[in-house]
Chain A
Amino acid sequence: MEKVKKKIGSFSFWNWVTASIIFRLILIYFPKNLNLSSRPEVSTPLTSFRRLAEGYWLKQSFMSPYAGSMYHGSPLLLSLLGPLTINRIEGQPNHLLYSLVSVIADVVSAMLIRATGQNLRLAYLRSLESLDLVKQIEVSGDIAALIYLCNPFTIVACVGLSTSPIENMAVILCLYGACSRLIPLAAFGWVIATHLSLYSAILIIPVIFLLGCGPDSPPRKLFLQRHQQKEVLNQSKLPPRFSWGPVIHFAFWAFLWSVYVLVLCGISLKQFGGLWEMFKSTYGFILTVEDLSPNIGVLWYFFAEVFEFFRNFFLIVFHVNILFMILPLAIRLRHRPCYLAFVYVAICSMLKSYPSVGDSALYLGLLGWFVNELADMQFSLFLFCGYVGVSLLSPVMHNLWIWRGTGNANFYFATAMVYACLQIVLVVEGVSAMLNHDRKLRNLITGKPQDAKS
Chain B
Amino acid sequence: MAETKEKSLSDEKPKPRVRPIVRLGIFLISHSFLVSIVCCTAGVLALFLLPVLAKNTYISENALMPGSASPMLSNQHVSDGNRLVKDLTNPNSKSSETGIESHKIIAQYMLDLGAEVSFHKFHPQMNQFHPLHFFSSPVSGKIQENYSCSSYGINTVGIIRAPRGDGKEAIVLVTPYNALKSGFGEALSLGIAYSVFSLLTQVTWLAKDIIWLVADSQYGEYAAVAAWLREYQTPKFSSLSTPNAEMCPDVNNLFELKGHSISGSKFSNSFRRAGTMAAALVLKVRDQNEQFEDTISIYAEASNGQMPNLDLINVVNYLAVHRQGLRVNVEKLWPLLNSSWLKSLGEIFESLAKVAKSLYPKWKFGIPATEYVEGTATLASSLYYQALGVPTGPHGAFRDYQVDAITLEISPKFSLDKVWRNDILLRGGRLIEGVIRSVNNLLEKFHQSFFLYLLTSPSKFVSVGVYMIAFALLIAPLPMVAASLYVDANSSSNCSKGDSSTPSAITDTDEHGIAIRSWRWLNSAKLVFIVHLWGAIVSLLPYFISQIPDCSPTTSFMIWVLLSILSLLTLNSVLASPLACAKATQEKEWALVKSVTISSVFIGLGLMSVINFATAEIGALLMVPMCLLARPLKLDVRAGTLRSFCRLICNLVLGHIAFPPAAFFLLKGMLDGFGNANVGDFWMWVESLWAWNSATYLFIGMVQLPCWVLCVSILFHTC
Residue numbers of A with Cβ under 8 A of B are 2-3, 5-7, 9-10, 32-35, 133-136, 138, 371, 375-378, 380-382, 384-385, 388-389, 392-393, 395-397, 399-400, 403-406, 411, 433, 436-437, 439-440, 444, 450-451, 453
Contacts and interface: CB of A to CB of B under 8 A. Distances in A.
A400 B519 contact: no
B444 to A, nearest CB: 12
B506 interface: yes
Given A5-B522, A375-B516, A453 B16 contact: yes
Contacts of A6: 514, 522-523, 526, 578
Contacts of B577: 10
Contacts of A439: 1
Given A6-B522, A6-B526, A10-B578, A404 B306 contact: yes
Contact of A381 (B4, B514, B599, B607): B599
B279 to A, nearest CB: 13
B526 A399 contact: no
Contacts of A371: 516
Contacts of B16: 453
B402 A404 contact: yes
B518 A378 contact: yes
A392 B522 contact: no
B521 A396 contact: no
A61 to B, nearest CB: 23
Given A135-B506, A380-B518, A396-B135, 17 more contacts: A2-B519, A5-B522, A35-B136, A136-B507, A136-B513, A375-B519, A376-B1, A381-B596, A381-B599, A389-B603, A389-B606, A392-B603, A393-B610, A400-B611, A405-B445, A436-B1, A440-B1
B361 interface: no
Contacts of A385: 599-600, 602-603
B132 A138 contact: no
A187 B517 CA distance: 39
A18 B510 CA distance: 29
A133 B502 CA distance: 12
Contacts of B136: 33, 35
A10 to B, nearest CB: 5
B241 interface: no
A449 B230 CA distance: 73
Contacts of A397: 610
B104 interface: no
Interface in B122-166: 132, 134-138, 140-141
A377 B483 CA distance: 15
B486 interface: yes
A126 B606 CA distance: 48
Nearest to A35: B136
B451 interface: yes
A66 to B, nearest CB: 30
A453 B8 CA distance: 12
A389 B607 contact: yes
A51 to B, nearest CB: 20
A177 B525 CA distance: 35
Interface string B421-451: 0000000000000000000000001000001
Given A9-B514, A35-B140, A388 B603 contact: yes
Nearest to A138: B514
B1 A450 contact: yes
Contact of A9 (B137, B512, B516): B512
A381 B452 CA distance: 32
A381 B599 CA distance: 9
A405 B603 contact: no
A51 B371 CA distance: 59
Contacts of A436: 1
Contact of A396 (B505, B513, B523, B607): B607
B647 interface: no
A452 to B, nearest CB: 8
B138 A403 contact: yes
Interface in B353-374: none
Nearest to A433: B1
B376 interface: no
9 contacts: A34-B132, A381-B595, A385-B603, A393-B606, A400-B610, A400-B611, A404-B402, A406-B451, A433-B1
B235 interface: no
B14 interface: yes
A6 B596 CA distance: 16
Contacts of B606: 389, 393
B437 to A, nearest CB: 24
Interface in B1-60: 1-4, 7, 14, 16
B91 interface: no
Given A385-B599, A400-B610, A5 B519 contact: yes
A406 B305 CA distance: 11
Contact of B486 (A134, A381, A396, A405): A381
Given A392-B607, A396-B607, A396-B611, A135 B507 contact: yes
B640 interface: no
B645 interface: no
B509 interface: yes
Contacts of B509: 136
Contacts of A376: 1-3, 517-518
A385 B506 CA distance: 27
Contacts of B526: 3, 6-7
A384 B611 contact: no
Interface string B511-542: 01110111101110110010000000000000
Nearest to A375: B516
B549 interface: no
B249 interface: no
A3 B3 contact: no
Contacts of B140: 35
B335 interface: no
A375 B518 contact: yes
Nearest to B2: A376
A406 B599 contact: no
Nearest to A385: B599
Nearest to A395: B135
B503 interface: yes
A339 B525 CA distance: 26
Contacts of A403: 137-138, 402
A133 B306 contact: no
A450 B502 CA distance: 8
Nearest to A8: B514
Nearest to B604: A392
Name which of A380, A392, A399 has the most chain B CB atoms within 10 A of its CB.
Answer: A380
Contact of A380 (B7, B507, B519, B602): B519
A416 B575 CA distance: 34
Contacts of B135: 395-396, 399
B370 to A, nearest CB: 33
A303 B138 CA distance: 30
Contacts of B610: 393, 396-397, 400, 411
Contacts of B138: 403
B529 A3 contact: yes
Given A3-B525, A376-B1, A376-B518, A393 B607 contact: yes
Contact of A33 (B132, B529, B600): B132
Contacts of A392: 603, 607
B514 A3 contact: no
A134 B504 CA distance: 9
Interface in B666-700: none
B14 A451 contact: yes
A399 B612 CA distance: 13
A6 to B, nearest CB: 5
A444 B506 contact: yes
A2 to B, nearest CB: 6
Contacts of B518: 375-378, 380
A7 to B, nearest CB: 7
Contacts of A34: 132
A440 B506 contact: yes
Nearest to A405: B402
A430 B589 CA distance: 26
